[in-house]
Protein backbone atom coordinates (compact mmCIF):
# COMPACT_ATOMS: atom_id res chain seq x y z
CA UNK A 1 0.00 0.00 0.00
CA UNK A 2 1.31 3.45 -0.92
CA UNK A 3 1.79 6.02 1.79
CA UNK A 4 -0.89 8.67 2.24
CA UNK A 5 0.68 12.00 1.29
CA UNK A 6 0.18 15.00 3.57
CA UNK A 7 0.26 18.15 1.44
CA UNK A 8 0.00 21.72 2.70
CA UNK A 9 -1.86 23.91 0.20
CA UNK A 10 -0.77 27.52 -0.14
CA UNK A 11 -3.18 29.81 -1.99
CA UNK A 12 -1.42 32.96 -3.16
CA UNK A 13 -2.65 36.45 -4.02
CA UNK A 14 0.14 38.73 -5.19
CA UNK A 15 2.99 38.03 -2.78
CA UNK A 16 0.79 36.94 0.12
CA UNK A 17 -0.44 33.63 1.45
CA UNK A 18 -4.22 33.92 1.72
CA UNK A 19 -7.17 31.81 2.81
CA UNK A 20 -10.86 32.03 2.01
CA UNK A 21 -14.15 30.17 2.45
CA UNK A 22 -15.74 28.55 -0.60
CA UNK A 23 -12.77 30.06 -2.50
CA UNK A 24 -14.08 33.56 -1.65
CA UNK A 25 -13.50 36.24 0.99
CA UNK A 26 -9.73 35.92 0.79
CA UNK A 27 -7.85 36.86 3.96
CA UNK A 28 -4.11 37.56 4.12
CA UNK A 29 -2.23 35.03 6.28
CA UNK A 30 1.41 36.04 5.77
CA UNK A 31 4.59 35.38 3.80
CA UNK A 32 4.25 32.11 1.84
CA UNK A 33 8.01 31.54 2.01
CA UNK A 34 7.97 31.39 5.80
CA UNK A 35 5.04 28.98 5.86
CA UNK A 36 6.51 26.76 3.13
CA UNK A 37 9.80 26.36 5.02
CA UNK A 38 7.95 25.61 8.26
CA UNK A 39 5.79 22.97 6.61
CA UNK A 40 8.82 21.41 4.91
CA UNK A 41 10.68 21.26 8.23
CA UNK A 42 7.60 19.68 9.84
CA UNK A 43 7.67 16.85 7.30
CA UNK A 44 5.34 17.82 4.45
CA UNK A 45 5.43 15.23 1.69
CA UNK A 46 4.73 17.82 -1.01
CA UNK A 47 3.49 21.39 -1.35
CA UNK A 48 0.74 22.84 -3.54
CA UNK A 49 0.86 26.48 -4.61
CA UNK A 50 -2.27 27.95 -6.21
CA UNK A 51 -2.40 31.43 -7.74
CA UNK A 52 -5.85 32.48 -6.52
CA UNK A 53 -6.17 35.50 -8.83
CA UNK A 54 -4.40 34.22 -11.93
CA UNK A 55 -7.54 34.57 -14.04
CA UNK A 56 -7.46 38.34 -13.44
CA UNK A 57 -3.97 38.60 -14.92
CA UNK A 58 -4.27 35.97 -17.61
CA UNK A 59 -1.24 34.04 -16.39
CA UNK A 60 0.33 32.38 -13.37
CA UNK A 61 2.50 34.82 -11.40
CA UNK A 62 4.20 32.42 -9.01
CA UNK A 63 7.58 31.94 -10.74
CA UNK A 64 9.43 34.28 -8.39
CA UNK A 65 7.88 32.77 -5.27
CA UNK A 66 8.66 29.23 -6.45
CA UNK A 67 12.24 30.19 -7.31
CA UNK A 68 12.74 31.42 -3.74
CA UNK A 69 10.97 28.45 -2.17
CA UNK A 70 13.09 25.78 -3.82
CA UNK A 71 16.24 27.26 -2.30
CA UNK A 72 15.13 25.98 1.11
CA UNK A 73 12.41 23.40 0.41
CA UNK A 74 13.24 19.98 -1.02
CA UNK A 75 9.95 18.18 -1.60
CA UNK A 76 7.86 18.06 -4.79
CA UNK A 77 5.96 21.26 -5.54
CA UNK A 78 2.76 21.46 -7.59
CA UNK A 79 1.82 24.86 -9.01
CA UNK A 80 -1.61 25.84 -10.33
CA UNK A 81 -3.67 28.81 -11.42
CA UNK A 82 -3.65 30.58 -14.77
CA UNK A 83 -1.62 27.98 -16.66
CA UNK A 84 -2.76 28.18 -20.27
CA UNK A 85 -0.01 26.72 -22.45
CA UNK A 86 2.94 24.38 -22.70
CA UNK A 87 5.14 27.48 -22.52
CA UNK A 88 3.56 28.42 -19.16
CA UNK A 89 4.31 24.93 -17.88
CA UNK A 90 7.91 25.09 -19.05
CA UNK A 91 8.40 28.46 -17.33
CA UNK A 92 7.12 27.13 -14.01
CA UNK A 93 9.16 23.94 -14.22
CA UNK A 94 12.28 26.02 -14.88
CA UNK A 95 11.42 28.03 -11.77
CA UNK A 96 11.52 24.83 -9.73
CA UNK A 97 8.04 23.36 -9.85
CA UNK A 98 7.76 19.58 -10.25
CA UNK A 99 4.11 19.41 -11.35
CA UNK A 100 1.43 21.74 -12.66
CA UNK A 101 -2.26 21.73 -11.80
CA UNK A 102 -4.51 22.90 -14.64
CA UNK A 103 -8.23 23.59 -14.46
CA UNK A 104 -9.70 26.44 -16.54
CA UNK A 105 -7.48 26.05 -19.61
CA UNK A 106 -7.91 22.26 -19.62
CA UNK A 107 -11.69 22.59 -19.73
CA UNK A 108 -11.45 25.19 -22.50
CA UNK A 109 -8.95 23.07 -24.46
CA UNK A 110 -8.74 19.42 -23.31
CA UNK A 111 -5.96 18.77 -25.82
CA UNK A 112 -3.69 20.84 -23.57
CA UNK A 113 -3.69 17.89 -21.15
CA UNK A 114 -2.30 15.63 -23.85
CA UNK A 115 0.27 18.23 -24.91
CA UNK A 116 1.57 18.70 -21.36
CA UNK A 117 1.59 14.96 -20.66
CA UNK A 118 3.41 14.13 -23.89
CA UNK A 119 5.98 16.89 -23.40
CA UNK A 120 6.73 16.57 -19.69
CA UNK A 121 5.23 13.22 -18.62
CA UNK A 122 1.86 12.33 -17.14
CA UNK A 123 3.32 12.60 -13.61
CA UNK A 124 3.71 16.34 -14.25
CA UNK A 125 0.12 16.88 -15.44
CA UNK A 126 -2.28 17.28 -12.49
CA UNK A 127 -5.93 17.87 -13.31
CA UNK A 128 -7.37 20.45 -10.92
CA UNK A 129 -11.11 20.15 -10.40
CA UNK A 130 -13.20 22.66 -8.45
CA UNK A 131 -16.45 20.80 -7.85
CA UNK A 132 -19.81 22.04 -6.61
CA UNK A 133 -22.90 19.94 -5.98
CA UNK A 134 -25.92 20.95 -8.01
CA UNK A 135 -29.60 20.72 -6.92
CA UNK A 136 -30.00 17.52 -8.95
CA UNK A 137 -27.32 15.84 -6.85
CA UNK A 138 -24.62 15.86 -9.52
CA UNK A 139 -21.30 17.65 -9.24
CA UNK A 140 -20.29 20.22 -11.83
CA UNK A 141 -16.78 21.47 -12.52
CA UNK A 142 -16.20 25.19 -12.02
CA UNK A 143 -13.41 27.36 -13.40
CA UNK A 144 -11.67 30.65 -12.56
CA UNK A 145 -11.10 29.79 -8.89
CA UNK A 146 -14.64 28.55 -8.43
CA UNK A 147 -16.38 31.56 -9.97
CA UNK A 148 -17.57 30.23 -13.32
CA UNK A 149 -19.71 27.18 -14.07
CA UNK A 150 -18.28 25.10 -16.91
CA UNK A 151 -21.34 22.96 -17.49
CA UNK A 152 -19.13 19.87 -17.30
CA UNK A 153 -20.14 16.90 -15.14
CA UNK A 154 -17.23 16.15 -12.79
CA UNK A 155 -17.27 12.40 -13.35
CA UNK A 156 -17.42 12.59 -17.13
CA UNK A 157 -14.74 15.26 -17.18
CA UNK A 158 -12.26 13.48 -14.91
CA UNK A 159 -12.49 10.29 -16.97
CA UNK A 160 -11.91 12.19 -20.20
CA UNK A 161 -8.97 14.09 -18.72
CA UNK A 162 -7.26 10.99 -17.35
CA UNK A 163 -7.75 9.37 -20.74
CA UNK A 164 -5.90 12.32 -22.28
CA UNK A 165 -2.94 11.90 -19.94
CA UNK A 166 -3.64 13.53 -16.57
CA UNK A 167 -1.56 11.61 -14.05
CA UNK A 168 -3.16 12.89 -10.86
CA UNK A 169 -6.32 14.71 -9.74
CA UNK A 170 -6.49 17.61 -7.28
CA UNK A 171 -10.14 17.49 -6.24
CA UNK A 172 -11.41 20.57 -4.40
CA UNK A 173 -14.93 20.73 -3.00
CA UNK A 174 -16.13 24.33 -3.27
CA UNK A 175 -18.97 23.52 -0.87
CA UNK A 176 -16.58 22.35 1.86
CA UNK A 177 -13.54 24.55 1.21
CA UNK A 178 -12.61 26.67 4.23
CA UNK A 179 -15.59 25.49 6.30
CA UNK A 180 -13.73 23.16 8.70
CA UNK A 181 -16.67 20.77 8.30
CA UNK A 182 -14.78 17.91 6.68
CA UNK A 183 -14.14 16.74 3.15
CA UNK A 184 -16.91 15.84 0.72
CA UNK A 185 -16.56 12.10 1.21
CA UNK A 186 -19.11 11.09 -1.41
CA UNK A 187 -17.47 13.25 -4.07
CA UNK A 188 -13.97 12.04 -3.24
CA UNK A 189 -14.93 8.37 -3.17
CA UNK A 190 -16.91 8.57 -6.40
CA UNK A 191 -13.98 10.12 -8.26
CA UNK A 192 -11.38 7.83 -6.68
CA UNK A 193 -13.35 4.76 -7.75
CA UNK A 194 -13.54 5.66 -11.46
CA UNK A 195 -9.97 6.76 -12.23
CA UNK A 196 -6.74 4.76 -11.98
CA UNK A 197 -4.62 7.75 -10.91
CA UNK A 198 -4.04 9.25 -7.44
CA UNK A 199 -6.68 11.62 -6.09
CA UNK A 200 -5.77 14.47 -3.72
CA UNK A 201 -8.71 15.47 -1.53
CA UNK A 202 -8.91 19.22 -0.88
CA UNK A 203 -11.36 21.43 0.92
CA UNK A 204 -12.79 21.21 4.42
CA UNK A 205 -10.31 19.61 6.80
CA UNK A 206 -11.26 20.78 10.26
CA UNK A 207 -9.77 18.01 12.40
CA UNK A 208 -7.67 14.91 12.12
CA UNK A 209 -10.89 12.90 12.19
CA UNK A 210 -11.70 14.41 8.79
CA UNK A 211 -8.44 13.00 7.47
CA UNK A 212 -9.29 9.56 8.82
CA UNK A 213 -12.68 9.71 7.10
CA UNK A 214 -11.44 10.82 3.70
CA UNK A 215 -8.88 8.02 3.67
CA UNK A 216 -11.25 5.32 4.88
CA UNK A 217 -14.51 6.38 3.23
CA UNK A 218 -13.27 8.73 0.52
CA UNK A 219 -10.44 6.47 -0.70
CA UNK A 220 -8.14 9.49 -1.12
CA UNK A 221 -4.48 8.93 -1.95
CA UNK A 222 -3.37 12.28 -0.55
CA UNK A 223 -4.82 15.07 1.56
CA UNK A 224 -4.35 18.78 0.88
CA UNK A 225 -4.78 20.99 3.92
CA UNK A 226 -4.61 24.72 4.53
CA UNK A 227 -6.79 26.29 7.25
CA UNK A 228 -5.91 23.70 9.90
CA UNK A 229 -2.20 24.46 9.41
CA UNK A 230 -2.25 28.18 8.63
CA UNK A 231 -4.19 28.99 11.81
CA UNK A 232 -2.06 26.68 13.97
CA UNK A 233 -4.98 24.47 14.95
CA UNK A 234 -2.76 21.42 14.38
CA UNK A 235 0.79 20.95 13.19
CA UNK A 236 1.89 18.52 10.51
CA UNK A 237 3.83 16.65 13.16
CA UNK A 238 0.66 16.15 15.22
CA UNK A 239 -1.35 15.15 12.15
CA UNK A 240 1.26 12.62 11.08
CA UNK A 241 1.52 11.14 14.58
CA UNK A 242 -2.27 10.81 14.77
CA UNK A 243 -2.36 9.09 11.38
CA UNK A 244 0.32 6.63 12.47
CA UNK A 245 -1.60 5.91 15.68
CA UNK A 246 -4.64 5.16 13.51
CA UNK A 247 -2.53 2.68 11.47
CA UNK A 248 -2.69 4.89 8.37
CA UNK A 249 0.36 4.44 6.16
CA UNK A 250 2.22 7.75 6.10
CA UNK A 251 5.89 8.53 5.64
CA UNK A 252 7.73 8.46 8.94
CA UNK A 253 10.09 11.40 9.37
Q: Which residues are catalytic?
A: 11, 130
Q: Which is it for the CA torsion 217, 241, 203, 182, positive or negative?
A: positive
CA 179 to chain centre: 16
End-to-end CA gap in the chain: 18
What is the number of alpha carbons within 13 Å of residue 70 lying toward its C-beta? 18
Closest CA to 85 of 57, 98, 104: 104
Residues in the chain: 253
Number of continuous H segments (helices) and E segments (strands) in the chain: 11, 12
Cβ distance 57 to 17 under 8 Å?
Answer: no
Cβ distance 96 to 77 under 8 Å?
Answer: yes
Q: Give the whole-angstrom CA distance, residue 168 versus residue 208.
A: 23
Amino acid sequence: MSNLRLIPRLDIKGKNLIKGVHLEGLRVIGDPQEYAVKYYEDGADELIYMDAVASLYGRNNLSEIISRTVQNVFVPITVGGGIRSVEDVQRLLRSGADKVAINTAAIANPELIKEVSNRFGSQCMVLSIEAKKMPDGKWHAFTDNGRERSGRDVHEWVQQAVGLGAGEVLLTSIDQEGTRKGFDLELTRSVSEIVPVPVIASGGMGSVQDLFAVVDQGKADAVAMADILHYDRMTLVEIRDAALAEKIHVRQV
